[in-house]
Structure 1
Amino acid sequence: MKRSIVALGASLAFALGACQPTNQQLEDLAKQQDEILAKLTSLEANQKKLLASAAPAARRKPPKEDYNKVYEIDIAGSPFLGKPDAPVVIVEWSDFQCPYCARATPPLKEVQKKYGDDKVKLVFKHFPLSFHKGAKPAAIASLAAADQGKFWEFHDVLFKNQRALDASKMNGYAAEAGLDVEQFKQDMTANQTKYAKAVDADFRQGQSVGVRGTPTLYIGGKRVANRTVQGMSKMIDTLLKEQAAGS
């Protein structure tokens, strides 16, 4: 860029020479060129500083996960499948607009079905990511569905339509999930703030136990590394054996 400025200055000087410039004009031109070069030098120096300060952050890795740590997770009031007193609790932090969450749903339900309601309880927590604009409105709407005892039906409809989660679609999804649509509308109006606070509370709780993305699962308070049916089954079997040995 500096060479371009110098070349431009030379071209202007040549053009002015053809017009017989005065000495003052030549001095002004040289001064302007020096000022431009000084600004470019300053910009380059600032750019180098910014790159240098950003480099460590770019190289910094997320903290290593401790998959043996047991977290205390408050699940009161959260939607769940299974019996309330099931000995194994799976907690899922999820985002309705996250494609990986949609893929995680079938294995989770398969595991819950495999062990049955008596042994496994599947708990849902909200973790709407900021770059998924439809995720939080969908999470809020799901709580209105939960008030009608239809959270999981609405959950399935949302994941099936996760590319179209704009607010104008929610009444239609409520109907598809078998909700009383008029009651759904009333609850969405009357309880919007309450639902939003509940979603935010889930998000903060997730952050407090190390959730940084979705889906993130915990079985018996331990973070799940392998989200396949086989991986989760291994954790559940181990937990059930430990509980049996301790009883």
Structure 2
Amino acid sequence: MAKQNPNYHGRGPVIERPPSLLSAGTMRAATLVGVAILIGITGMNLYETREQKSALNARLTQLETRVTALGTKIDAGARVAQARPQGPDPNKAYTVKTDGAPFLGPKSAPVTIVEFSDFQ
């Protein structure tokens, strides 16, 4: 017959626990040491996170400075490009030498249309 636990009151199977290797005080101390270690690790992670944040902020500031400088260069280049003439004046009639060029129609035509093609 199975051993009866004096604290058993008929509410389920009897579970006998093996005797504890550590006393309650030792378990509490071990738990406190574990919690202290976890707090220490958390503190180190917090410190490293702050260092990384500072490094990232410094790098971000450098990048913002470079982007601003590039934007200034692009704006200056755009102003120079706008200052340059964009091509021939569409309101002006230009004289083009056509001597020796192939043509269709009479040489004495009142209007000459010149077409240029570059087949490269």
Q: Larger relative CO (CA 8 A, sep 6+): 1 or 2?
A: 1
Alignment TM-score, normalising by the size of structure 1: 0.25
Query: Which protein shows a greater Rg?
Result: 2
Flag the structure with higher strand content: 1
When you count helix as a share of all residues, which structure comes out higher? 1
